[in-house]
Amino acid sequence: MNLTLHIWRQDGPRDGGAFQTYQAKDISEHASFLEMLDVVNEELIKAGQEPIAFEHDCREGICGSCGMMINGVPHGPRGMIATCQLHMRIFNDGDEIWIEPWRATAFPVIRDLVVDRGAFDRIIDAGGYISVRTGSAPDANATPVHKHDADRAMDAATCIGCGACVAACPNASAMLFTAAKVTHLGLLPQGQTERYARVVDMVHQHDAEGFGNCTNHGACQEACPKGISIDTIARLNRDLMVASWAAAGE
Amino acid sequence: MRRVVALYRSSVGKKVLMAVTGFVWFGFLLAHMAGNLGAFLGQEHFDAYAEHLRVVGEPMLPEYSALWAFRAVLIATFIAHVVLAWQTSRQSHQARAVGYRKQENLSFSPASRFMRWGGVLILVFLVYHILHMTTGTLHPDFIAADASGHNAYHNLVTGLSNPLVAAFYVLALTAVAAHLFHGVWSLMQTLGAAHPKYKHLRRPVATIVAALVFLGFVSVPVSVLAGILR
């Protein structure tokens, strides 16, 4: 299949950047979206041009690095998958595809389609962990966890930190990412000790990074390749209210 | 107060304060709507209701005092709601300084995207509405209350008999209904009400509430134009 691609090219963080149009020729419908970009890059390299920079690592939907805006939808038009799991067969021969990097002040563009998601790391640094003795693995079932809580914690823990929630949000808010981590740790017994300090610190870091304000549009959960629900945000809100109330009363 | 300040400092806390202030106004809207529907019980009933608002709390409180205390709460919560909306919008605009060339709307309702501009429309309407029905400044046939009582019914009917004015009321009420459609759902989400047992009720509750408020309020200008209230 042959496609027309409009791809954001930006030579570095300071460059203004612009869209460039490329023809992708003889693409197999079995190729993944990233493989299609690889083919385009091969041609660019042969022609002595700079290849399109895009981030990728595992190419099996678990590393969270291959995020890009495809025709206005994070990770493309197919739900519940990352860009690397998107196959060219869902496009039609002759389609025009617009490819853009995530757009958020907190995610500055490094080059072309690659953005710096360091802000997520700093939100995790602010409280997305538990402080426990490490060492040998604990015995199975030494700490009982209710099945219901374990399921919900695992659902939240599937977040791969790709940034699609921020990309889709009309406010460029990272509340779904932050809430997934708060929910994952806050539901488990090991996460109770730091539960309320965690939510205050992580939301504080979220705001400091320059992410926007969640206004409950629900676009994030539509875009999330792991299907994380905005119920996690309701839980974060509740924990934050409890934390602010308790802290200010002391 | 320290607890409120602690909330105000974070983006999530600002939302909580918006939810609470919005809820106060939602409660007021229900009371206001109940009062309006009194117009269908006749002129006497409606004028007596308007008079009652002035003297509520008597003889323990001087006249107007309860009314003004009530108004003070409404004004304070309204200002807080608008200021917080402004601040959170600014935060969000700065968070996406560069936009997309192409972006699909993945939000689950158009009403959520209309909250800010809809809110501006409601603000403009509110100013007009007070100048129209409370002070009478923009009302050509306004008769102010005097010793003989209130003329609220007369002011209501003559004020809404102009089709343009009535149309503006209906337009503003559409914005209010859209605001509630997202706002009532949103305040439950913001206040953390997402329990698996009842979270599926949030959408129907917000939809029904928005529809009831719209129909309850719109019935008055429509009935004036239809000649049912005269």
- Cβ atoms of A213 and B92 closer than 8 Å: yes
* Residues of chain A neighbouring B97 (CB-CB closer than 8 A): 105
Q: What's the pLDDT at A142?
A: 87
Q: What's the pLDDT at B47?
A: 93
Q: What's the pLDDT at B137?
A: 94
| A27-62 residue pLDDT tens | 999 999 999 999 999 999 999 999 999 999 999 999
Q: What's the pLDDT at A141?
A: 86
Q: Does B157 touch chain A (CB under 8 A)?
A: no
Ordered by where they begin, the domains of chain B are 2-93+108-226 (1.20.1300)
The C-alpha of B68 sits at a distance from chain A's nearest C-alpha, in angstroms, of 30
Q: Where in chain A is the domain with CATH 1.10.1060.10?
A: 117-249
- How far is residue B7's CA from residue A237's CA, in Å, rounded to a whole number? 11
Q: What's the pLDDT at B54?
A: 85
Across chain A, mean pLDDT equals 95
A250, pLDDT greater than 70: no
Q: Does B101 touch chain A (CB under 8 A)?
A: yes
Cβ of B96 and A103 within 8 Å?
yes
Q: What's the pLDDT at B195?
A: 86
A120, pLDDT greater than 80: yes
* Residues of chain A neighbouring B186 (CB-CB closer than 8 A): 215-216
- How far is residue B121's CA from residue B59's CA, in Å, rounded to a whole number? 39
| For range A165-172, the mean pLDDT | 97
Across chain B, mean pLDDT equals 94
pLDDT band of B83, cuts 50, 70, 90: very high
Touching B: A residues 56-85, CB under 8 Å: 69, 71-73
The C-alpha of A186 sits at a distance from chain B's nearest C-alpha, in angstroms, of 14
- How far is residue B210's CA from residue B118's CA, in Å, rounded to a whole number? 14
Tokens found for residue A152: 């919900």
pLDDT band of B59, cuts 50, 70, 90: confident
Share of chain A above pLDDT 70, in %: 99
ipTM of the complex: 0.92
A249, pLDDT greater than 70: no
User: Can you identify the CATH homologous superfamily of domain A117-249?
Assistant: Alpha-helical ferredoxin (1.10.1060.10)
Q: What's the pLDDT at A101?
A: 98
Q: Number of A:B CB contacts under 8 A?
A: 149
According to CATH, the topology of domain A3-110 is Ubiquitin-like (UB roll) (3.10.20)
Q: What's the pLDDT at A248?
A: 64
A168 → chain B, closest CA residue: B106
Q: What's the pLDDT at A95?
A: 97
B112 → chain A, closest CA residue: A217
pLDDT band of A108, cuts 50, 70, 90: very high
Overall residue count recorded for chain A in this entry: 250
Of A106, A247, A249, the CB nearest to B95: A106
- How far is residue A181's CA from residue A123's CA, in Å, rounded to a whole number? 10
| For range A110-127, the mean pLDDT | 98
Other CB atoms within a 10 A radius of the CB of residue A17 amount to 18
User: Within its chain, how far is the Cα of B201 from the centroid?
Assistant: 23
Q: What's the pLDDT at B4?
A: 77
Place of tokens 């919900």: A152
B149, pLDDT greater than 80: no
- How far is residue B92's CA from residue A210's CA, in Å, rounded to a whole number? 9
User: H-helix or E-strand containing B6?
Assistant: helix B2-8
Q: What's the pLDDT at B70?
A: 94
Cα distances from B182 to residues A156, B94, B111, B118, B199, in angstroms, run: 25, 23, 6, 11, 15
A238, pLDDT greater than 70: yes
* Residues of chain B neighbouring A13 (CB-CB closer than 8 A): none
Q: Does A153 touch chain B (CB under 8 A)?
A: no
- How far is residue B106's CA from residue B198's CA, in Å, rounded to a whole number? 24
Of B16, B108, B190, the CB nearest to A218: B108
Cβ of B108 and A103 within 8 Å?
no
User: Within its chain, how far is the Cα of A187 from the centroid?
Assistant: 22
| B107-124 residue pLDDT tens | 888 999 999 999 999 999
The least confident of A32-41, A91-100, A137-146, B71-80 is: A137-146
Tokens found for residue A166: 């921020």
* Residues of chain A neighbouring B3 (CB-CB closer than 8 A): 244-245, 248-249
| For range A191-217, the mean pLDDT | 96
Cβ of B91 and A212 within 8 Å?
yes
Long-range contacts of B113-119 (CB under 8 A, 24+ apart): B113/A170, B113/A217, B114/B175, B114/B178, B114/B179, B114/B182, B115/A215, B115/B85, B115/B179, B115/B182, B115/B183, B116/B85, B116/B89, B118/B175, B118/B178, B118/B179, B119/B82, B119/B85, B119/B179
Q: Where in chain A is the domain with CATH 3.10.20.30?
A: 3-110
| For range B124-142, the mean pLDDT | 95
